[in-house]
Amino acid sequence: MIRKAVIPAAGFGTRFLPFTKAVPKEMIPLVDKPVIQYVIEEAAAAAGITDILIIVSTGKMAIQDHFNPDAGLEARLEANGKSDLLEELRGINKLANLHYVYQKELKGLGDAVLCAKNFVGDEPFAILLGDTVLSSDGKPVISQLLAAHEQTNSSIVALEEVPWEKTSRYGVIDGKSDDETLYKVGAFVEKPAPEEAPSNLVIASRYVFNPEIFDYLAKTPRGKGNEIQLTDAMRLMLEDQAMYGYKFKGKRHDIGNKLDFIKSTIEFALKRPEFRDDVLEYINKISRM
């Protein structure tokens, strides 16, 4: 049973400047909840996950503040009879045991994951990127991945099918599958041009790794963008171990990307019964302007 999850949330968020100058991109809201709360809810909903490590950096205190109890605020809500809000806030504090570690220098996602080595120890663990919400009508996506890991006992990444013209933005897999859901990975190819891409299946912000990934990360040199890339470590690991990809059922919302954020805000508002009719009416109205 996998007990631990790691959420890298230390990055600069340059794609969302100027907003991310002073506020972590993980605190961008979809309607009224910050992205990272959706991510933690996904992890905490998975059977077995009790402990979550958030990788942070300077300037990310708002994340800790969001999850720490605030006695003064709770007393005020209680005095004002706002019991629904009070319950909701208390629920946030109870999601899981949250831990924090600082990534001292922002040397890339691979380096961020390496900061989790002591926390993880010698057991398999999950990674959920802190700037991406994966919504699903059924089982949470990380639970789908954990089930696939149980089946294969190998490290496994979430896969999303994207339009071919977008392969150059992502890590893509070359893989084989009997059921078009679980793929045995033959190669990881970083940001291939569409005509060179071996598939249009891209690595989609959720992973389950066996602990040996740390050995490969430790020997991964700086790569693209002068950063330590998680994909480079995965490529080294693949030389020695089988790895899989799992085409998850659900939808990805990369909130670090402005257009995705705008679309997702509308989508999440439409899922809320108290906003749905008004938002639809408003979209109709402004689209005729």
Verify binding: residue 109, ligand UTP, rule CB under 6 A.
Answer: yes
Which single residue brings its beta carbon nearest to ligand UTP?
A: 11
Q: What Cα–Cα distance (Å) separates residue 271 from each residue in 41, 143, 225, 275, 284?
A: 17, 22, 38, 8, 17
Q: What are φ and ψ of residue 270, in 5° steps?
A: -70, -20
Task: Calculate the CA 56 to chain-centre distance.
Answer: 14
User: In terms of DSSP bridges, do strands 182-190 and 243-247 run parallel, antiparallel, or are they unpaired?
Assistant: antiparallel
Tell me the window of 8-16, 148-156, 179-187, 266-274 that interacts with ligand UTP (CB under 6 A): 8-16
Residue selected from 35, 40, 44, 112 as contacting ligand UTP according to rule CB under 6 A: 112
Verify binding: residue 250, ligand UTP, rule CB under 6 A.
Answer: no
Rounded to an integer, what distance in angstroms lies between the CA atom of residue 212 and that of residue 18?
38
Residue selected from 35, 40, 129, 255 as contacting ligand UTP according to rule CB under 6 A: 129
Task: Report the nearest approach of ligand UTP to the CB of residue 18 (Å).
Answer: 12
Which residues ranging from 45 to 104 are in contact with ligand UTP (CB under 6 A)? 55, 103
Tell me the window of 64-72, 123-131, 187-195, 211-219 that interacts with ligand UTP (CB under 6 A): 123-131
When the beta carbons of 77 and 110 are compared against ligand UTP, the nearer one is 110
Binding map of ligand UTP across residues 171-190, x = CB under 6 A, - = no contact: --------------------
Verify binding: residue 255, ligand UTP, rule CB under 6 A.
Answer: no
Residue selected from 2, 4, 13, 146 as contacting ligand UTP according to rule CB under 6 A: 13
Residue selected from 5, 37, 131, 197 as contacting ligand UTP according to rule CB under 6 A: 131
Verify binding: residue 107, ligand UTP, rule CB under 6 A.
Answer: yes
Task: Report the nearest approach of ligand UTP to the CB of residue 108 (Å).
Answer: 5
**Contact at 8 Å (CB) between 35 and 258?**
no
Strand partners, 101: 55
- Chain residues binding ligand UTP by CB under 6 A are 8-15, 55, 103, 106-109, 111-112, 129-131, 256
